[in-house]
Chain A
Amino acid sequence: MAKTLVVNQEKCIACRRCELACAFKKVGEFNPAAARLSVAVFLEDDVYLPIVCQHCDEPFCMEICPAGAIYRDVQTQAVKINSDRCIGCRMCIMACPFGGVDYSVSEQQVVKCDLCDGEPECVLFCPTQALEYKEPTELGLAKRKKVARRMKELMREVG
């Protein structure tokens, strides 16, 4: 299995260094609006969660892109946008249920996490290892499921 961004939700302290690191690497500015991931904060529930592209097995964005601009990187398995082919139609944004694709105002184009070609900057700057880049282990997968369940409960409470 390929390495991917593993989120350990309970370790996140919402310091948002990941957002800043990502934005700096991608556009050279500490501008969270240009980051390819964002930290969702639920103050009242004391829950923080980095939201980032899931690099799905069957990505909706890749399926819908009418320009053939979204592809899977054979090396990293990342789902990436080829900006030369992108026509900016935003169908990918419309299709992603996770908010994994975004429009970057400063770059005037559609952007998403590309796993930094195998060296995700956000992981380097995360002080608590809430973000890790590794093969999801059995335990990791189980944890992911637990987080998903926790999120579900949370949503039920709030929703």
Chain B
Amino acid sequence: MRFRLTDDQRALRDGMRQLLARRFDGAALRGAAERPERLDRALWRALGEAGFFALRLPEEQGGVGLGLPEAVLVFEEAGRVLLPGPLAATHLAAGAVPGAATGETVVSAVDGGLVEWLAEADVVRGDAPGAVPMRSLDPLTPLHRVPGRAAAAPDPVAVLLTAAEQLGTAARVCELAVQHARAREQFGRPIGAFQAVAHLCAGMLARSETARAAVYAAAVTADPLDIAAARLLADEAAVRGARDCLQVHGGMGFTWESEVHLHLKRAWVRTHRAGGVTHSEEALAAALTAGAA
């Protein structure tokens, strides 16, 4: 057992982090939130060139030929910066939909009763007749509701990639909270010196690091139960982490200018993807009586 990132994996993660820092920094995020419903096609193609969508496609099909652990690392980076767009759907379409692997084609998919980025997508996988636009809670994720759709069993890879994005949010909001707690002074000292604030931050780290171990392990084993568990842990770490980050930011956290609300809103959107938490909870419960604990 060597449950550590390899040098190659570290390099891949760092490379993706640098690319995103160049192409989608904090200013770009706030800019995108001001003019929602438009996807940056040049960025999408840059992601394609970097292998984001073709990462798991075999080399003989023009892909990068890597595996789930690497996909999880780049999706975590996407989650950290709140990269908009149907990332998982396009990634899953690589090799099946022309242009998806290179980022030329934006692919979305019907997921339960919802479709993300329907108007901007070139291809929508699944049946979406009568899709009705919603006024999406997340300014960076346009949503359509598809009436009368029963939730099918989710693709475990879609579940895992969603968990990876949630992990990115969980880690990022912990960093944002800690930065703020170190810098912001009240009563003559940094608020991070107050135990109540310090303990909120420590709780955020404890949740995100537990989620990290679960998400990475699920990427290695590809076991559907490991994936379901990773999803629940990552959802919890992202949603509670974003809430606590907002709390640490105090009144500033409740403004549109702070990016904290964007993390919480995206985390909420992701909890409804790929079967939602209920499916994962029921799958893990069912496994208990099948003796697979």
A joins B in a complex: no
